[in-house]
Chains A and B, each alone.
Chain A
Amino acid sequence: MSEPFRTDVIVVGGGIMGAAAAFFLRRRGKSVALIERALIGQQASGTNFGNVRRQGRFLPQLPLANRSRDIWGRLNELIGEDAEFLASGHLRVTYDDEMTARIETYARDALPYGLDLQIIGGNRLRERFPFLGPEVRAGSYAPHDGHANPRLAAPAFGRAARREGASVFERTEIVAVERDAGMFRVEAADGRVFRAEQLMIAAGAWGNRLSEQFGEPVPLVTHGPQMAVTEPIPYALEPVLGVSTTKLEETVYFRQVKRGNIVIGGAARGPASADTQRASVKPENTLLQFTQITRVVPALARLNIIRVWSGVESYLPDDIPIMGPSAKVPDLYYAFGFCGHGFQLGPGVGDVMAELISTGQTTTPIEPFSIARFASAPA
């Protein structure tokens, strides 16, 4: 049997979290093995909507989202490509006074975190965004939010990590993870063994299978985003659009990419299986999206969709992720279960986790995301 592959840090899971963490760990001088079962960025990281949105987030998450937004704006200088990031602006619209009051409150509350949201209503909204439908009452406009291409972002971080000297192992399935004699030992299905002082679990919907091996199970469930894309048309919808509502079927969002296609998501969640690693789009959800997106922009009714897709996302009961050090095992770290809103956070999570792993602390508050919050949950 060959010698174990030895690094300072092992990152398990090659989604955008793990790939970005591997990149930033190299920037901090740590040797890294990034281990991915399939290919970098294939599941939730590669199949999500592509929102680079801060507004509407859980307020204590905004410092992390801000740190990530800063990295999105510097992707070219950091990793040599921009993953089609576009600071196009982001507009959340409302259909009634109650939700309009809520977005006004949110805009006030988010101001201390540096979000300069503009609440726009009535004629001014229609002058500025003439494509909006008659049901739309008001909107919250975030000028510095935008979108990027999920198919490109995580693989780009993976390649950048490799260029920086990380050892990236794709198509490498993990069968055992353990800690002995102060070292982590990770064994692959083909018998290869990896050893390191520090371990980061960034395995998305499969994160719980690893955390429970260290006595920290979490109530993780899987869902699939319901995505669709239109044929390309001339670029006209600048901001990412979304609906602020308490009704699930109204929560659609869509964005137009520069080359013309409009990417659509929301209104429902679909089935996803961690076991089969497959997720699907229910046909009725596609039809539901048609009804809902044309309420926001009626002219979309003239287009066709050409493809739908999904992926395996993981959710926690409180709708916020697990991120930070293990509450039980020294030198063990987690970043998974991003509840369908991890893409924007990805680069920031990678940066913060690298800081945490290499210095033992982070300047960005992440306490609300500790795995300890599930420690008292019944087994």
Chain B
Amino acid sequence: MAEPRVIIVGAGPAGVRAAETLVAAGLRPTVVDEGRRDGGQIYRRQPEGFARSSAELYGTEAARAEALHATFDDLRPKIDYRPGHLAWNVADGHLHVVHDGSAEALPFDAMIVAAGATDRLMPVKGWQHAGVYSLGAAQIALKSQGCAIGRRVVFLGTGPLMQLVAAQYRKAGAQVVALLDTSRLWHQIRALPKLVSRPDVLAKGVGLAASHLLAGTMVRRGVTPVEIFGDADGGVSGVGVRLVSGRDLRLACDAVALGYHLRPETQLADLAGCDFTFDAATRQFWPVIDEDGRSSVPGIYLAGDGVRIQGADGAEIAGQLAALAVLADRGRSAPTEQISRLRQQRRAMERFRAGISEAFPWPHHLAAGLAEETVVCRCEGITAGELRAVVHDKGADEMNRAKALSRVGMGRCQGRYCGHAAAEVVAAATQLSPAVVGRLRGQAPVKPLAIRTRRAAP
């Protein structure tokens, strides 16, 4: 029997561990990486010529980052690594990739998609001003280039990433004006029974939260975002929120890092035809998977934050499980003990994931209160008022209809950043559940594709 052709999309913790598992079984997988170097977002490797230490870059996670990088360096001769390759489409058993204007169709028998996550965003009036970044982007600027997004930065949103990036910014010398968190302390306390499934991570989180207080940084919980102030010329000038007390707080700043935890990057799973299901706890559609990461489509496996936000450690486990599932499904012997141990670890990761989403809840209730002039879709400049108008005046009670009639989610990001919030706006306007309002259907390309792209010479 010929060796199965396996493609792994992504070279973060899930992708690297999947590759390692397949190589150990004697396969030579193809690893398609949009980044220029392995590591993914969390363990992003700095560009050539930068010389910051691991401790500087990855903090408490330095050892894990180094281990992953070392694993990957060993794997390099044993895999077909494709850095700088965008996976833009999947059809008929081929992954379509583009690299520097040259397109190729890579055939596969099995594909593990470990595409990672991006920020989950709730619009706020003024978030289209220059100087507003997602938390993820704020962290990439720092990790990759050693740059901060501004001198005086307000962190607005919720979630563990906000706590972490704010700490990294402070350490890097930026002035962290405030952490304005939409979650309440009781959310976190209520989630403790789930969060104790990973006591070490819980302790790190508590430590991070405490570090902000020790540093004297302003931390406000239970805020309601009102507006990011600024103008087209000067960009961001400040942030306004309403406090729990009902009092308005206005802070001056020159940059805002915004985000409400993370959402999986599911476009490839969508293009591959995987079934999605609505998760009521986090109010989002995500692909259906079994405990090892098999999707509803034979041959398509989903791992890491690209399917469930279990974090980097969870992704390492999920990557191994997905690779072992590929091997089992291709008739290779399955190491049952290893699989059952990994599944057990994964269950703890899953319990912790559920705890995090309760501790830092998606503030869906804000969608109903967005001022009419608030831009929801920044690519197309579609406001909450325009979106509500197609609901009320044109009967659009479903997301793809709302998109067709209003242009929401039709721009460069194809709804990756506004889709969840737009669904909440439509849900609030129709008084339907977002489960009924539905989700934007995925369309290729996964990211913008240059018209200069030509098929690679065979």
Contact = CB atoms under 8 A, between A and B. Distances in A.
A, B bound: yes
Interface of A: 39, 46, 151-152, 155, 159, 230-231, 280-284, 286-287, 290-291, 293-294, 300-309
A283 B414 contact: no
Interface stretch (B58-66, B417-425, B445-453): B445-453
Given A151-B404, A291-B454, A286 B444 contact: yes
Contacts of A307: 410, 414, 443-445
Given A231-B412, A308-B445, A283 B451 contact: no
25 contacts: A39-B401, A151-B404, A155-B394, A155-B404, A159-B394, A231-B448, A282-B91, A283-B89, A283-B105, A286-B444, A286-B445, A287-B103, A294-B451, A300-B451, A301-B450, A302-B451, A304-B449, A305-B445, A305-B448, A306-B412, A306-B448, A307-B410, A307-B444, A307-B445, A308-B445
A304 B454 CA distance: 13
Interface string B87-113: 011010010100000010100000000
A18 B411 CA distance: 30
A86 B395 CA distance: 25
Interface of B: 88-89, 91, 94, 96, 103, 105, 394-395, 398, 401, 404-405, 410-412, 414, 443-445, 448-455
A284 B88 CA distance: 12
A290 B452 contact: yes
A304 B91 contact: no
B410 A283 contact: no
Interface SS, A side: helix
A308 B443 contact: yes
A109 B348 CA distance: 76
Instruction: Specify which of B96, B105, B449, B451 lies most central, judged by the most chain A CB atoms within 10 Å of its CB.
Output: B451
Contact of A46 (B398, B404, B443): B404
Given A283-B91, A287-B455, A151 B405 contact: yes
Nearest to A282: B91
Contacts of A155: 394, 404-405
Contacts of A294: 451-452
B104 to A, nearest CB: 10
B451 A301 contact: yes
B383 to A, nearest CB: 15
A287 B449 CA distance: 10
4 closest A-B pairs by beta carbon, nearest first, are A304-B448, A301-B452, A151-B404, A283-B89
Contact of B443 (A284, A303, A309): A309
A274 B264 CA distance: 32
A154 to B, nearest CB: 10
B451 A290 contact: yes
Contacts of A151: 404-405
Contacts of A159: 394-395
A60 B401 CA distance: 36
A1 B200 CA distance: 64
A294 B454 CA distance: 11
A290 B405 contact: no
B444 A308 contact: yes
Nearest to A168: B395
Contacts of A303: 450-451
Nearest to B445: A305
A135 to B, nearest CB: 17
A166 to B, nearest CB: 14
A281 B453 CA distance: 17
Nearest to B449: A305
A301 to B, nearest CB: 4
B451 A305 contact: yes
B451 to A, nearest CB: 5
A48 B451 CA distance: 21
Contacts of B410: 307
B451 A230 contact: yes
A19 B411 CA distance: 29
A76 to B, nearest CB: 17
A57 to B, nearest CB: 27
A152 B451 contact: no
A305 B412 CA distance: 9
Contacts of B443: 307-309
Contacts of A281: 444
Nearest to B381: A259
A304 to B, nearest CB: 4
Nearest to A232: B411
A304 B405 contact: no
A305 B451 CA distance: 7
B445 A306 contact: yes
Contacts of B96: 283
Contacts of B451: 230, 290, 293-294, 300-305
